[in-house]
């Protein structure tokens, strides 16, 4: 289970990083007015962090529950 979660996180980050680089390049070209692309980049990073946090919290909860079940038996 742990390997699946880390694999998922790796793939998610692998797919998000190119999007961030594209936003940075577009910002350098000044295609949109002041900070619009930077705002998108920040929101994308926040979204990634929330996703990572959710997945890791689920994993921690599963491990904690498994530990409690072992103690009860």
For residue 2, the model assigns a pLDDT of 66
Please give the full DSSP string across 33-73, using - where no structure is assigned.
Answer: STTHHHHHHHHHHHHHHHHHHHHHHHHHHHHHHHHHHHHH-
Domain range annotation of the chain: 2-72
**Whether residue 72 has pLDDT greater than 70:** no
Q: What is the pLDDT of residues 1-47, one digit of tens each?
A: 667 777 877 887 788 788 878 878 887 888 777 778 788 888 888 98
Question: Pick from 54, 32, 63, 50: which is nearest to 40 by CA?
Answer: 32
For residue 70, the model assigns a pLDDT of 67
Q: What is the pLDDT of residues 48-57, one digit of tens each?
A: 888 888 888 8
Q: In whole angstroms, what is the distance from residue 39 CA to residue 35 CA?
A: 6
């Amino acid at each position: 289970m742990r390997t699946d979660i880390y694999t998922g996180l790796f793939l998610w980050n692998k797919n998000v990083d190119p999007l961030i680089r594209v936003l940075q390049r577009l910002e350098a070209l000044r295609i949109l007015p002041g900070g619009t692309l930077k705002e998108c980049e920040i929101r994308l990073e926040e979204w990634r962090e929330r996703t990572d946090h959710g997945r890791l919290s689920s994993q921690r909860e599963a491990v904690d529950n498994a530990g409690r079940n072992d103690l009860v038996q």
